[in-house]
Amino acid sequence: MTIGALILILAAAVIHATWNLLNKQASGHPTFTWLVAVLSAAFYAPATITIIEIWQLKIGSVEVGMMAGSAALHTAYFVLLNQGYRAGDLSLVYPLARGSGPLLSSIAAIIFLGERPSLIAMAGVLLIIGGVLVLAGNLSQLRHSDNRSAVGYALTTGLFIAAYTLWDKQAVSRFAIAPIVMDWGANVGRAALLTPYALKFSDQAVNEWRKHKFEAIAIAILIPLSYILVLTAMQFTPVSYVAPAREISILIGTAMGARLLAEGDAPRRLGAACAMVLGVVALAIG
């Protein structure tokens, strides 16, 4: 992995953890997810349209199809993630969702895309995943606790993280769709998919806007910014390197949960954080 790619991914990780903290504080209803999608599409429309015009980018059936597929996967991801946050702590749901995603996407990239990471990079993957498991705690105990629904939502969210990572990698590398255009199209699609639900529960949508206006606006700006940085890195970096390196956000997000939301247990998380930092260094060297 190049230094440039690593810088992009680490910047994205900080932004990603920040919007997840705001998302947890909002504990959003699905109509909150719709609000964020609509705002994101609106905020990034001028820049996207300008880039399309200046670069004279072609938006044909293939490009629209890739954006539509990404919109469907991201819609499921956001709805499940929000349900997880409504059911459990940030420091539980976030590491489980983010940790299971890269493991699955890296394995799939090796099997289906023919990527061959070096031994050092693979050691980095294992260190990061190991750190995630330590952060998450004892899963066998969790299975019998009141957090079962949160764990279920988090792990299912991880499946969709793996799916959209591989899908979007193909969009920006194989089909050369500009990252900002890809992300904007996915946000437009996500808003469209959730509009019938938002109309059905319009009172709830209005209530979400009144209560969580600040969070909705901030998240709408931060989500595309974070993912555009990741998509840019994926244009010239293998998925099996990018996906695990992104998960340094788990360290940041879990620290935010412990400090800002008083979710505690710092010693265990510090050990896990060290493993994850070593993993990212191994990925950068590999």
pLDDT tens column, 89-105: 888 788 878 877 766 76
Q: Distance between alpha carbon 65 and the CA centroid of its chain, in Å?
A: 21
Kindly tell me the burial class for residue 143, based on how many C-beta atoms sit within 10 Å of its own C-beta (0-12, 13-18, 19 or more): exposed
More confident residue, 114 or 163: 163
With beta carbons less than 8 A apart as the criterion, state whether 125 and 243 touch.
no
Residue with tokens 């089909």: 175
Q: Averaging pLDDT over each range in 1-5, 14-18, 94-98, 133-137, which range is the top one?
A: 14-18
Instruction: Give me the pLDDT at residue 111, please.
Output: 82
Total Cβ atoms within 10 A of residue 92: 24
pLDDT tens column, 25-74: 987 788 999 999 999 999 999 999 999 999 999 999 999 999 999 999 99
Radius of gyration of the chain (CA): 18
Number of residues in the chain: 286
Exposure class string for 187-198: b at 16+ Cβ within 10 A, else e: bbbbbbbbeebb
Tell me what the pLDDT averaged over the chain comes to.
87
Lowest-pLDDT range, 157-171, 243-257, 261-275? 261-275
Separation CA 102–CA 13 (nearest Å)? 13
Q: Distance between alpha carbon 92 and the CA centroid of its chain, in Å?
A: 15
Three-state secondary-structure class, residue 97: helix
Instruction: Give me the pLDDT at residue 13, please.
Output: 92
At 112, is the pLDDT very low, low, confident or very high (cuts 50, 70, 90)? Answer: confident
Instruction: Give me the pLDDT at residue 129, please.
Output: 79
pLDDT tens column, 180-229: 999 999 999 999 999 999 999 999 999 999 999 999 999 999 999 999 99
The pair of structure tokens assigned to 30 is 């699905």
Q: Which amino acid is at 247?
A: E
